[in-house]
Amino acid sequence: MSSKINIRSLSLADLIESITSIGEKSFRAKQIFEWLWKKNVGSFDEMTSLSKEFRDKLLTTYIIDKIVLAEKQISSDKTIKCAFRTHDGHIIEGVLIPVKNRMTACISSQVGCSLACKFCATGKLKRLRNLSFSEIYDQAFIINQIATEHYDTHLSNIVYMGMGEPMLNYTNVKISAEMISSEDGMAMSPKRITVSTAGIAKNIKKLGDDDVKFNLALSLHAAQDNKRSKIMEINNSNNLEALAEAIKYFYEKTGSRITFEYIIFKDFNDAMNDAQELAHFCKNVPCKVNIIEYNPIDDGEFSQAETQKVKAFANFLESKNIIVNIRRSRGKDIDAACGQLANKNALTG
């Protein structure tokens, strides 16, 4: 096991202390920090403003654990799915979603997932480990580069909706979002960042206590406990009453509107009584609802709701003065759509 220090695990203050401890001037730490984050280099040799002697010294003391792009697939609708390889050989996935006036990166927070939601391909995998905040940051940085290369524009939004449950990797998710929005990092407005959770009530409250500046989305998918528990085991320990209390607390602390994500399934949660239950739940906090088209996964037991039922569902919510967006699938032909990540990864079989 390497005794070298993972240099990207250090804050700027920690890096200054570490660099001075090996006999270097503190301003060198600021140079290194810029190379690591603003330029996102993967080796000390790329830090060309530093002397060869200093770079060799860094190499004997530190490691850089940057993820690398292992593969990318481009959909017929221009969505790009990225497979990233971590320093210890795991494959994680992220997606670039280009739509009119918006360029969104969907990024992962864990290798695999422990929640086993029935409609999600990632949920069929085991959770192997949390991603570090630098590995989460790398995904956003690399996908931003891809957006520039392919579409000549930078990311407008980042969503933590890829592999894993962000609220079960709380600290790394929070730090990564802070780095993405920092002037020392990608300098993206935190209001352009959304963290999505299946519903870990205590950590939703912690977000409020920490006064986070990014947006929060709750993967709801049913507003009745028995029904939600059938598709999301997490509801057994974090039921709708607990989640309602948590999102109220979050809103009181941050003043940030909540987004409810609602994947609509045929003959399961697409009826008018389901819409009524959702409208009732929406009374808890100022919110908006994203109705998401279901994307089939291998051995999935659900199917897409009929278009007319989706429209009727949305119209009912709008009649209750609820902001509603119907999200159409992107990247289905390369299994990059919502819920499909890890479904058919060309690198893993």
* Terminal-residue alpha carbon distance, the chain: 30
Taking only the tens place, the pLDDT of each residue in 57-69 is 999 999 999 999 9
Whole-number pLDDT of residue 2: 63
Taking only the tens place, the pLDDT of each residue in 59-114 is 999 999 999 999 999 998 899 999 999 999 999 999 999 988 999 999 999 999 88
Residue 346, pLDDT > 80, answer no
Which of 60-64, 121-125, 302-306 is modeled with the greatest confidence? 60-64
Whole-number pLDDT of residue 345: 47
What strand order describes the sheet that includes 258-264? 68-74, 80-85, 91-99, 102-106, 157-160, 193-197, 215-219, 258-264, 287-293, 323-327
Residue 13 lies in domain: 5-63
Whole-number pLDDT of residue 5: 94
Distance between CA atoms of 46 and 165, rounded to whole angstroms?
Answer: 34
Q: What is the CATH number of the domain that holds 53?
A: 1.10.150.530
311: helix, strand or coil? helix
Taking only the tens place, the pLDDT of each residue in 332-343 is 555 554 544 454
Q: What is the average per-residue pLDDT within 129-150?
A: 97
Q: What is the average per-residue pLDDT within 116-130?
A: 82
**Contact between 317 and 279 (Cβ < 8 Å):** yes
User: Sorting pLDDT into bands at 50, 70 and 90, what band is 222?
Assistant: very high
Whole-number pLDDT of residue 119: 84
- For residues 233 and 284, membership in a common domain is answered with yes
- For residues 212 and 232, membership in a common domain is answered with yes
Nearest to 212 by CA among 233, 232, 197: 197
Q: What is the CATH number of the domain that holds 282?
A: 3.20.20.70
- φ, ψ for residue 310, nearest 5 deg: -65, -45
In a domain, 341, yes or no: no
In a domain, 42, yes or no: yes
**Contact between 7 and 15 (Cβ < 8 Å):** yes
Taking only the tens place, the pLDDT of each residue in 164-193 is 999 999 999 999 999 999 999 999 999 999
- For residues 33 and 177, membership in a common domain is answered with no
Q: How many residues does the chain have?
A: 349
- For residues 221 and 316, membership in a common domain is answered with yes
Q: What is the average per-residue pLDDT within 262-283?
A: 97
**Contact between 222 and 264 (Cβ < 8 Å):** no
Please report, rounded to a whole number, the percentage of residues in the chain having pLDDT higher than 90. Answer: 83
Residue 243, pLDDT > 50, answer yes
In a domain, 347, yes or no: no
In a domain, 153, yes or no: yes
Read off the amino acid at residue 298: D
- For residues 24 and 171, membership in a common domain is answered with no
Distance between CA atoms of 122 and 336, rounded to whole angstroms?
Answer: 12
Q: What is the average per-residue pLDDT within 239-264?
A: 98
User: Sorting pLDDT into bands at 50, 70 and 90, what band is 348?
Assistant: very low
DSSP H or E run through 218: strand 215-219
* Sequential DSSP letters for 253-274: HH-PPEEEEEEEBTTTS-SHHH
Looking up tokens 């409609």, which residue turns up?
Answer: 119
Task: Give me the active site residues, please.
Answer: 93, 338
- For residues 306 and 200, membership in a common domain is answered with yes
